[in-house]
């Protein structure tokens, strides 16, 4: 399969990713074009990677495009903002767990309560540094960006993320 055929077969998933980022149809088309070009440009690096890795790279590239405010045609996109879940919930005056559960179609009060308890327990077990890193991840920052903002190496942030993941697994098992 040629790179072009592979990328073409991925387009439906790219549309799904773009739809998660914006409801604007024109901007969605631009994002799909951006992600398609990104895949074609990076194909040699990405072809042997798992699909999840490839689509995560596309998703992050699309977010970067939105943050820069322009697409391949260099048309300035004024008013386009990538808003983190925390910021959106704060603006709407809604609890993050309630919002996340309602997005996932779980308006069940029990599911909302268990999500809150899970998050509370996770936060209690994390160190202050780990909580800060987790918050930045939730806000959409990449590990490299977190390292830059905190003035530490990317390896330090990666180690912290692995520690957060282990803690989350322990919380889920208990």
Give 120 or 98, the one with higher predicted confidence: 120
Calculate helix-pair angle for 128-138, 85-92, nearest 10 degrees.
80
In 3D space, the residue among 118, 117, 127, 116 whose CA is nearest the CA of residue 163 turns out to be: 127
Task: Map residue 76 onto helix, strand or coil.
Answer: strand
pTM exceeding 0.85:
no
Over the stretch 100-142, which tens digit does the pLDDT of each residue have? 555 455 556 666 677 777 888 888 899 999 988 888 887 777 8
134-140, long-range: CB within 8 Å, 24+ apart, which pairs? 134/164, 135/86, 137/161, 138/84, 138/85, 138/86, 139/84, 139/85, 139/86, 139/87, 140/63, 140/82, 140/84
Query: Rounded mean pLDDT of 43-57?
Result: 78
Q: Is the pLDDT of residue 38 over 70?
A: yes
Q: Is the pLDDT of residue 17 over 50?
A: yes
């Amino acid at each position: 399969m040629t790179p072009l055929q592979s990328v073409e077969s991925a387009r439906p998933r790219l549309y799904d990713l773009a739809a998660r980022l914006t409801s604007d149809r024109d901007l969605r088309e631009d994002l799909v074009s951006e992600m398609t070009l990104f895949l074609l440009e990076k194909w040699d690096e990405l072809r042997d990677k798992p699909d999840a890795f490839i689509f995560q790279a596309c998703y992050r590239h699309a977010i970067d495009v939105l943050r820069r405010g322009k697409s391949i045609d260099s048309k300035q996109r004024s008013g386009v903002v990538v808003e983190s879940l925390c910021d959106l919930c704060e603006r709407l005056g809604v609890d993050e767990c309630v919002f996340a559960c309602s997005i996932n179609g779980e308006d069940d009060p029990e599911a909302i309560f268990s999500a809150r308890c899970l998050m509370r327990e996770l936060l209690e077990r994390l160190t202050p540094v780990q909580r800060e890193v987790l918050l930045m991840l939730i806000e959409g920052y990449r590990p490299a960006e977190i390292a830059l903002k905190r003035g530490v190496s990317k390896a330090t942030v990666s180690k912290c993320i692995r520690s957060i993941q282990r803690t989350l697994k322990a919380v889920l098992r208990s």
